[in-house]
């Protein structure tokens, strides 16, 4: 599969949303977009033949991960339920022995 075909395939899988109406929706969509971008850049890095191209693509993917964290921090401020659910998920992971503090 050619890179262009893969890019077209990835773009088809990007969810199409109605116009966001709240900051919570905007932030959630931003997180989804960043996750898609990470997947795309990491895929492109695996395909890159030049080590410098690969390095730049992986660095950009890393920056997208930073953006996710920023959006999550903002989401915690505008969606109180998000923070509560995050705490519950952490506890569930601890109970399963997956997360250790």
Q: What is the mean pLDDT of residues 71-99?
A: 89
* Neighbouring C-alpha atoms within 13 Å toward the C-beta of 82: 13
Element (H, E) at 14: none
Report yes or no on 87 lying in a domain.
Answer: yes
Residue partners of 22: CB distance under 8 A and separation at least 6:
none
In a domain, 70, yes or no: yes
Can you tell me the distance from the alpha carbon of 31 to that of 78, in angstroms, rounded to the nearest whole number?
14
Residue 58 burial (10 A CB sphere; 0-12, 13-18, 19+) = middle
Provide the residue range defining the domain that includes 55: 3-95
Residue 7 has pLDDT above 90, yes or no: no
Tell me, yes or no, whether 17 lies in a domain: yes
Residue 61: inside a domain: yes
Inside any domain, residue 43: yes
pLDDT tens-digit map of 11-68: 676 666 667 678 999 999 999 999 999 999 999 999 999 999 999 999 999 999 999 9
Q: Is residue 101 one of the residues assigned to a domain?
A: no
Q: Is residue 47 part of a domain?
A: yes
pTM of structure? 0.73
> How many structural domains is the chain composed of?
1
């Amino acid at each position: 599969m050619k890179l262009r075909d893969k890019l077209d395939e990835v773009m088809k899988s990007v969810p199409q949303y109605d116009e966001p109406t709240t900051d919570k929706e905007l932030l959630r969509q931003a997180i989804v977009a960043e996750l898609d971008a990470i997947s795309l850049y990491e895929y492109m890095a695996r395909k890159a033949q030049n080590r410098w191209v690969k390095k730049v693509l992986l660095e950009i993917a890393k920056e997208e991960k930073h953006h996710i964290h920023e959006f999550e921090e903002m989401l915690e401020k505008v969606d109180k339920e998000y923070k509560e659910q995050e705490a519950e998920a952490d506890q569930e992971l601890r109970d399963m022995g997956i997360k250790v503090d």
